[in-house]
């Protein structure tokens, strides 16, 4: 053996393989071979330090902070009972731009404004001739 101090033995009790490029576990700070470097492979007792997950409220989709020792399901339940901003009756309006043409009750997702009278119209009444536009400086003619 020319280099007796080169490499390290795997810390897994059943392995002890000499590895020249060992992996060091972030949680327990021990050296492992390529087969045992994951926390699951060597049954790391400190794996909980690396497995940090934040639960998300299923109603409002906001993260719910959980302190050490608390059960995530209980904390999310308390959040739903006290702090949740979800209102089941309140829906966000998607179609909010109502057509300004008299008698039309259609609504659009995006505002379609007339260049001449600046009114908001639906797709069917967006052209000046379709909503009887009387404003503007240039004459309105029928497209041919």
Q: What is the pLDDT of residue 23?
A: 92
Q: What is the pLDDT of residue 29?
A: 92
Q: What is the pLDDT of residue 83?
A: 83
* pTM, 2 dp: 0.37
Q: What is the pLDDT of residue 92?
A: 63
Q: What is the pLDDT of residue 24?
A: 93
Token representation of residue 25? 């576990």
What is the number of other CB atoms lying within 10 angstroms of the CB of residue 21?
Answer: 8
Which stretches of the chain score pLDDT less than 50? 137, 139, 144
Q: What is the pLDDT of residue 90?
A: 57
Q: What is the pLDDT of residue 144?
A: 45
């Amino acid at each position: 053996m020319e280099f007796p101090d080169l490499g390290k033995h795997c810390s897994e009790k059943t392995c002890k393989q000499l590895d020249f490029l060992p992996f060091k576990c972030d949680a327990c700070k021990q050296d492992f071979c390529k087969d045992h470097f994951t926390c699951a492979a060597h049954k790391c007792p400190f794996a909980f330090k690396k497995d940090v997950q934040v639960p998300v409220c299923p109603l409002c989709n906001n993260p719910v902070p959980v302190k050490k020792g608390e059960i995530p399901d209980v904390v999310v339940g308390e959040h739903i009972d006290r702090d949740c901003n979800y209102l089941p009756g309140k829906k966000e309006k998607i179609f909010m731009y109502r057509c300004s043409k008299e008698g039309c009750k259609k609504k659009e997702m995006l505002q379609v404004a007339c260049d001449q009278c600046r009114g908001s119209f639906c797709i069917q009444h967006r052209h000046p001739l379709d909503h009887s536009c009387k404003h503007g400086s240039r004459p309105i003619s029928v497209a041919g």
